[in-house]
Chain A
Amino acid sequence: MIEVLLIIISIFVLLFLESFLFELFSFSILILVLLLLWKRINPVVYYILITFFAITLDSVNHFPLGTHVLVISILLFVFDLLSIVIPSEGKLHYLTILLSTFLYYILLLLIGSLLQDGAFPKVWGSLVNIAVVSGITTILYAFVNRFLKSIQYEGSKSRLTLD
């Protein structure tokens, strides 16, 4: 029960941060959460949460229904493909994150415009901005990833000591 309550509060906090940061730096916290939670929680819970949040974003941003969900599903495919080409362990993994984040923003721009207006948007003008934001997302991912790994390590160490 407490988990459900925490998830609901988290969604509200995430939505606030998403709206705030997107307005301020055109930065999406969804992609960061998306990549951080990937393979860390139960896939069913993951998909439910992501879908719920994606539909919420479609609703509040007045995108056609399913825009964010479609972008995420394509992204997860590409992410897996990139993981085959680029090793998922080590520093090169962050290149996958960078490319995935870059693709997320491009896809959101493209698919959003195609579904909404039926026209291709002018992406060239936004490329630099997207590249910078993708870079920041990757750096943040790296920090949070290390932090989460250290927590996991500390947790396992304490467990070993207790055993």
Chain B
Amino acid sequence: MKRKFDFKSYSKFLYLIFSIILVLLGQTTLGDRVKYPFAYIFSPIHVYGSNAGKKVNNWKEALIDASSYITEFNEMKEEIAKLKVENSEKLLDYNEYLSLKEQSSFLINEREYIQAKIITDNSQGSILINVGKENGIEIGDIVILGRVYIGMISDVSLYSSRVRLPLNPSSSFEVVVLPGSIDLNKENRIDSLVKSTGVVIGKSDNILIENLGINSDVKEGDFVLIRDSRVEDIFVLGTLVGVSNNPASTNKSGFVSPIFDYGNILNVYVIKK
């Protein structure tokens, strides 16, 4: 009697044999050929699914670690604030270093200089500096930067002082005009180089220069130096611009362009009397 083959009874056994054959096939080069079409068709959906899972997993981990993130975030905020302060301190230190380096080349040994930082500047032709009576500052002290005249102390409190800039309407000085071609750092004897004398008056937004000799050959770009009894020394104020050429006038006038934009200065030096 012929027995009928029962697939259900042997299915697992047959499937095991098939799986072993498939594994052996997978060890040959044929394995890759079999896998290739499957990978070609199904890889995109697998990659998409894995990426979606990874994204959700990241969120899951972020939620689990939420408390640590908040702590870390707060710590980082503190660190950033600390670094900003350190950075700004370093910037100010560097600026001070540059200023000192510049100043050291113009120092006159017998004088005492006090380094000061500009706290505020206003459009009224004056600035506030962070030194005052405590540092021995007095009204009338001269404020310079290198060999450039910045202003004169007009008011002193304990820890700060007001500096009257040449722009200030109440500021006026006697000046001399020198050729713009000379090197002020090398030239010591300037008497023979003076083109003309004059007077400068602050006009809030510019510095007016008057009483220049009508016959003097002053021209734009010439140096304007302060030579006044109240300053007790010669300092550079700026360069001459906008010289008038009116033949009917008895003298020439013009404007002085300051060496520095007073609004951009950070450090200055006060000469103690």
Q: A35 interface residue, CB < 8 Å from B? A: no
Which residues of chain B in 37-71 are interfacial with respect to chain A, using CB atoms and an 8 Å cutoff? 38-39, 42-43, 45-50, 52-54, 56-57, 60
Q: B185 interface residue, CB < 8 Å from A? A: no
Cβ–Cβ contact A43 & B7, under 8 A: yes
What CA separation (Å) do A158 and B55 show in the bound complex?
45
Q: A72 interface residue, CB < 8 Å from B? A: yes
What CA separation (Å) do A47 and B53 show in the bound complex?
28
Q: A67 interface residue, CB < 8 Å from B? A: yes
Contact among A23, A44, A58, A77 with B35 in the assembled complex (CB-CB below 8 Å): A58
Cβ–Cβ contact A19 & B35, under 8 A: no
Find chain A residues with CB under 8 A from B39 CB: 59-60
Find chain A residues with CB under 8 A from B24 CB: 66
Find chain B residues with CB under 8 A from A51 CB: 18
Cβ–Cβ contact B31 & A64, under 8 A: yes
Cβ–Cβ contact B42 & A59, under 8 A: yes
Mostly helix, strand, loop or mixed at chain B's interface?
helix
Q: Which residue of A lies closest to B27 (CB)?
A: A64
Q: A147 interface residue, CB < 8 Å from B? A: no
What CA separation (Å) do A58 and B18 show in the bound complex?
16
What CA separation (Å) do A115 and B21 show in the bound complex?
14
Of A9-17, A94-102, A123-131, A136-144, the one touching chain B: A9-17
Q: A70 interface residue, CB < 8 Å from B? A: yes
Find chain B residues with CB under 8 A from A108 CB: none
Find chain A residues with CB under 8 A from B21 CB: 66
Seen from chain B, the residues whose Cβ lies within 8 Å of a Cβ on chain A are 7-8, 11-12, 15-16, 18-27, 31-32, 34-36, 38-39, 42-43, 45-50, 52-54, 56-57, 60
Seen from chain A, the residues whose Cβ lies within 8 Å of a Cβ on chain B are 12, 15-24, 43-44, 47, 51, 55-56, 58-61, 64-67, 69-70, 72-74, 76-77, 80, 115
